[in-house]
Amino acid sequence: MEKKQLEMKRFFNEISEENQKLLLTYGLEIKVKSGTFLFYEGDYPDHVYLVRSGKVRLSKMTAEGREFSVHLKQRDELVGEVGLFNEMAISVSAEVIEDAVLVRFDRHTLEALFRENGEIAVAFMKWFARHTQSTQAKFRDLILCGKTGAFYSTLIRFSNSYGIQNDDGILINVQLTNQDIANYIGTTRESVNRMINDLKKTNIVSMREGHILLHDIQFLKDYLHCGDCPVEICTI
C-alpha cells in the first residue's frame, strides 16, 4: 500500500488556521495554465504568489544561453518571495509547468501584513531561512560532488519533496525527462542517460510509468556521505 513520505514543513502550513484564513483575504485566487510565466529573470515583480495546487519551476539562463533549473515549487510554498523588502531585480524566471491555482498578493500589501502580524512574519522567516539553506546546499553539491554527485543529490531531493513510499522503494511522483534532470544539474541529456542507465543496471533505480522509482536511496546517500541534516534542507 502506498503512503506519502514525510510531510514537509512549508510556509503556509506552519501558520495557524486563523492566520491562514487572514492571509488569504489579502490575496486574489487565480487559475494559471501550464506554460505561463509569472515573471522573468531581471524583472521587478509587483506580486508574490502562494501555490495552492500545481507546480512552478524557477530557472536561470547561463552565460552560454542554457536553462538551469533552480527550484520546483509546490503547494503551500511562495513564489517571488525574494522580491520582498528590497528593490532589487529578481534573479530567476518562474514558469508554471502544471496547471496551477495560485493566490496572488501585491508585494507592498504583503510586506505591510508581515510587519503587523508576528506569527505570519516568523513563519515566513523560518521557511525562507530553510529555503536559503536548501539552495546553498544544492549549489555545494553541484560544485563539490561532480556531475555524478549532483545527479544523486538531485534524485534524493526529488524523493524528499515528491516521494511516495512503496514496498519496493520510493516513487518520485513527478514525471521527469532526462533533459529535465540535466537542467537541474547543469549537464547534458546524454550524461544523464549514461548515469541513470548505470543505476538501472545495479537495480538502484527503475522506471514505472514514466516515473523514477528509487530502490536503494541509501546507496546514493552513502556516495554523498550524507549527514543528518533536516530533510527540509534537502529538497528541490
In a shared domain, residues 71 and 16: yes
**Per-residue model confidence (pLDDT) at position 2:** 45
* Category of 65 on φ-ψ map: left (φ > 0), alpha (ψ -120 to 50) or beta: left
Total domains present in the chain: 2
**Per-residue model confidence (pLDDT) at position 80:** 92
* Contact in structure between 113 and 26 (CB atoms under 8 Å): yes
Q: Domain ends where: 133, 157, 185? A: 133
In a shared domain, residues 95 and 172: no
Residue 191 predicted with pLDDT over 60: yes
Question: What mean pLDDT is predicted for residues 83-94?
Answer: 88
- Residue-range definition of the domain harbouring residue 30: 3-133
Q: Does 139 map to a domain?
A: no
Nearest to 163 by CA among 5, 2, 1, 53: 5
Diameter of the chain measured on Cα atoms: 56
pTM, two decimal places: 0.83
Give me the count of residues in the chain.
236
Nearest to 212 by CA among 153, 167, 140, 162: 162
Q: Which residues contact 76 (CB under 8 A, 6 or more apart)?
A: 10, 11, 12, 13, 50, 51
Q: Rounded to a whole number, what is the distance in angstroms from the first to the last CA of the chain?
A: 25
In a shared domain, residues 92 and 123: yes
Q: Does 224 map to a domain?
A: yes
In a shared domain, residues 83 and 127: yes
Task: Indicate the range of 12-21, 191-200, 220-229 predicted with least confidence.
Answer: 220-229
Give residue-wise pLDDT tens across range 25-59. Answer: 999 999 999 999 999 999 988 999 999 999 999 99
The span from the CA of 28 to the CA of 21, in Å, is 13
The span from the CA of 9 to the CA of 207, in Å, is 28
Residue 192 — very low, low, confident or very high, per pLDDT cuts 50/70/90? very high
CATH number at residue 107: 2.60.120.10
In a shared domain, residues 183 and 128: no
Nearest to 159 by CA among 112, 104, 226: 226
Q: Which three cell numbers stand for residue 221?
A: 546517500
CATH number at residue 227: 1.10.10.10
In a shared domain, residues 126 and 22: yes
The span from the CA of 42 to the CA of 93, in Å, is 8
Give residue-wise pLDDT tens across range 210-234. Answer: 899 999 999 998 888 777 677 777 8
Q: Which residues contact 118 (CB under 8 A, 6 or more apart)?
A: none
